[in-house]
Amino acid sequence: MKTDLPQSFRRLEYRPPVYTFDQVELDIALDPARTIIKSRIEVLPGKSFEAGAPLVLVGQELEFVSLRINGEAHRHFELTPEFLTIHSLPNEGRDKFFVEIICVCVPEKNTSLMGLYVSNGNFFTQCEAEGFRKITYFLDRPDVMERYRVTLRAREAECPVLLSNGNLLISEKLPNGWHSATWEDPFPKPSYLFALVAGKLECIEETITTSSGAQKLLQIWVEPHDLKKTRHAMDSLIASIHWDEKRFGLELDLERFMIVAVGDFNMGAMENKGLNIFNTKFVLAQPETATDADFANIESVVAHEYFHNWTGNRVTCQDWFQLSLKEGLTVFRDQEFSADQMGSESGRAVKRIEDVRLLRQLQFPEDAGPMAHPIRPDEYQEISNFYTVTVYEKGSEVVRMYQTLLGKDGFRKGMDLYFKRHDGQAVTCDDFLMAMADANGRDLTQFRNWYSQAGTPRVKVQEHYDPSKKQYQITLIQSCAPSAGQPEKKPFHIPLKMRLITKGNNQVEQLLELTQANQSWTFDSIDERPVLSMNRNFSAPIHLDFEQSEADLLTLFSSDDDPFNRWEAAQRLAMQMILNNRLPDEKLINAYRNLLLDPKLDPAFKELALTLPAESYLYEQCASVDPQKIFAARRAFRREIAKQLQLEWAALYQQMQTPGPFKSDAVDVGKRALKNLALSMLLEANKDVWAPMAVNQYRIADNMTERYAALAGLVIHGTREAKDCLIDFFERFANDALVIDKWFGLQSSRPPVDGLEPTLSDVKKLREHPAFKMNNPNRVRSVIHAFCSNNPASFHQVDGSGYEFWADSVLALDSINPQVAARLARALDRWRLFSQPYQDKMKASLERVAACPTLSPDTREVVGKALGN
């Protein structure tokens, strides 16, 4: 009996390539129905070379045409749907030889959006992680780095613009209305960084001068009607380039740098060398159509992809197990850039809180679920499933801990040594760690455990104060729950910033390095029992198990000088009360009131402090989750805050107005955030009284932030006015795909409201809407993902209807775009955390998907791990 077991790849089985490539020449004749790719590859013996070994190339969904070796036809090969194996190589492969291959692909039928595909009549590529094999037969692995010379040919009327990596060498007119462009990238790169773009596009461009005095051309290419929405992305790119020069001494190394936006894209963006391809969501913005969050995300993602030019492109990964080497490091870099762009220390604190909130809402659950893995995984079946918040966001926190341990200057020394040693190489996480250690003379051996162990460490805090000796002692006990293949965990090296808060307020911040399972510190000359402020600025990505009294938490909330821990105290107070089904008491209400009225605090910080812990984070604090009970307790807690502080919310709504022309600076962004929270709270307190004010804000708003916030308040609170405003919103922005994504996403995210139909009824109608497209990832995310992953109270229904919808959607998507389907599949991977009857109904839906005989490997891995297979 034949069994198709999934193939697993293991880190410890890595073997260097038998052959490697040097120069690659591609000639690509673009046609939606039949693109012809001619490749000429210079092949050399690799690090694992064995005389007589065949050259094994990978290819998928390709039509093979011909093969030549050193200019002569070669017939000694085997061809399968995934491999081209070439035998009888010249001189048994000992010397350099040239392979020429002609093959064909069909871009217009490529719905996976991996490899070469067509979107709105234009050609685009996405090659990370393994998409290049859909373009031609190749050594499609990151440790094979080659120089490219690429000639693109197309009908000029259909594709007037032809772009690829590197520098433009020549453009030519060809017979029969065709034309060509030849590009050369002088820097070796792996195939996953290859890119081409062709079509009817226009660009905004700027010329800048780098720190060395070199002139560089910057271009952002979009469809013509979107050109007016590119200024913010260009400003973000320029700021990123200058910041990287100043902070890390890294300069743009090509004559030009290009960004291209496309509406059909699986990811946020891709850092192809010199030709970054972006989802339109992270390029296009103007105040009328993009929110403050959109502007911030564009700045962050543009920076992230540009920073990859060095951390990912110039120095890349030896294998895909090292993915966090480039992604975690580059997320850290873009977080630091965005924090600096805030323009103040309080702004940096707001950015830090936002980053940690994302980590705890998304990554902590992943660490505790069946897909848990270290930031450097030991095994995978489909690498596309490991572009995760663990690799990215937790990876960033691991990089940040280097800076905490070594200091900002020490971290820079480590970065400098890393580039000095490894520029132009494909390396490992260990290489990065050694650069940090060697540059600073530190033994970081134990720090490796962050790379090899899955799960979020838990640190238990025990404190003891002896008034007679005026001594205060802290004992820290670390542990980490078992995970797949790791029943026992070694102690982590955990840097913990702490401070003792007393009435005298004279204790300074200190850094504790927790390296043992159980470790104590004693502090002398402490005149009174202090309040401990621990893990300040979230210095380590841990669960802090610290049973502080409500009085101590109120002290931290009211007076801690560390903004993160002040916010954290508010979160812990709210969380404890919500999980115990308690309403906020008078002391907490007064603390909230004092914070709102404090003129010294940034509006952005106030908005964060009054935003309650997300339902998904509350789930992680429970042994067995009843989602409806948690939703009801959280909603009642919020409503009480809204009612008790109704006068303050009304006053803040007026005080936080931002008259004059729209500005996206940190001050106005913070004011709008607090104003919109105030509006939401007023609707929470009494929607009938305050709905007219929300409608007025919707009607007169001159920016999307305020218009969308008003609409969201009306929809989420189930007001009578919501329907008419939704109709108006669609009619206003029917021709703007990204805004219509917001329209879809808002309705799919509506929580349960008494007197209204279940949200699932609306979602099913939205799936049938003429503007919904199942083959567009953005539209799928705005409807299906928004409901299944971001709307827990509506998704988790006792009758299991949400899970049945999830199964239908996963199966429908899987045949179109396996990557998008696999992402959706993860909505049920924590099914064991829930109480009955939710648990059984989730399992039944998972088993239904798993039983599909044609399920893609991407989705099968996620569902299989969820079920424990």
pLDDT digits (tens, 9 = 90+) for 252-270: 999 999 999 999 999 999 9
pLDDT at 756: 95
pLDDT of residue 503: 86
Distance separating alpha carbons of residues 493 and 637, to the nearest angstrom: 38
Helix axis angle for 838-850 and 857-867, nearest 10°, is 150
Two tokens, residue 189: 């790169």
Smallest CA-to-CA distance from 283 within 206, 204, 354, 350 is with 204
Spatial distance between the Cα atoms of 706 and 723, rounded to a whole number of angstroms? 18
Residue 2's pLDDT is what?
34
For the chain, the distance separating the N- and C-terminal CA atoms, rounded to the nearest angstrom, is: 19
Give the whole-angstrom CA distance, residue 447 versus residue 404: 13
Q: In whole angstroms, what is the distance from residue 78 CA to residue 795 CA?
A: 50
Cβ atoms of 203 and 266 within 8 Å: the answer is no
775 against 503, higher pLDDT: 775
How many other C-beta atoms lie within 10 A of the C-beta of residue 409?
A: 10
Residue 843 tokens, joined: 């399992």
User: In the predicted model, what is the mean pLDDT of residues 306-327?
Assistant: 98
Of residues 271, 305, 382, 615, which has the active-site annotation?
Answer: 305
**pLDDT, tens digit, for every residue of 555-569?**
999 999 999 999 999
Query: Is 504's pLDDT higher than 80?
Result: no
pLDDT band at 1 (very low <50, low <70, confident <90, very high): very low
Q: What single letter denotes the amino acid at residue 323?
A: L
Place 3 in a pLDDT band, splitting at 50, 70 and 90: very low
Could you tell me if 401 and 495 are in contact, meaning their C-beta atoms sit under 8 angstroms apart?
A: yes
At 96 the pLDDT is 98
Tokens read off for 805? 């919808």
Residue 5: predicted pLDDT:
59
**Token pair of 464, please?**
């003891």
Question: Whole-angstrom Cα distance, residue 520 to residue 462?
Answer: 9
Task: Determine the pLDDT at residue 4.
Answer: 56
Torsion, CA 678, CA 680, CA 682, CA 687, rounded to 10: 160
pLDDT at 25 over 50: yes
Span 123-152, average pLDDT: 98
**Alpha carbon distance 472, 462 (integer Å):** 11
Q: What pLDDT band is residue 183 in, cutting at 50, 70 and 90?
A: very high
Q: Beta-carbon neighbour count of residue 584 at 10 Å?
A: 21
DSSP code per residue over 674-702: HHHHHHHHHHHH-HHHHHHHHHHHHHH-S
Q: Look up residue 534 and give its two tokens.
A: 């621990």
**3-state DSSP call for residue 146?**
strand
Percent of the chain scoring above 90 in pLDDT: 98
CB 757 within 8 A of CB 766: no
Averaged over 126-145, what is the pLDDT?
A: 98
409 Cβ partners below 8 Å, 6+ apart?
none
- Torsion, CA 603, CA 604, CA 609, CA 613, rounded to 10: 150
Looking at the predicted structure, is the pLDDT value of residue 517 above 70? yes
**Residue 706 a catalytic site member:** no
| CA–CA separation, 371 and 808 (whole Å) | 22
Does the pLDDT value for residue 478 go beyond 60? yes
Q: Point out the least confidently predicted range of 138-147, 502-511, 640-649.
A: 502-511
| Phi and psi, residue 769, nearest 5° | -65, 140
Q: What is the pLDDT of residues 348-391, one digit of tens each?
A: 999 999 999 999 999 999 999 999 999 999 999 999 999 999 99
* Secondary structure class of 760 (helix, strand, coil): helix
**CA 15 to chain centroid:** 30
Mean of the per-residue pLDDT values of the chain: 97
330: enclosing H helix or E strand: helix 323-341
Mean pLDDT score, 850-854: 98
pLDDT tens-digit map of 744-802:
999 999 999 999 999 999 999 999 999 999 999 999 999 999 999 999 999 999 999 99
What is the residue whose two structure tokens read 């708003």? 701
Residue 658 has a pLDDT of 97
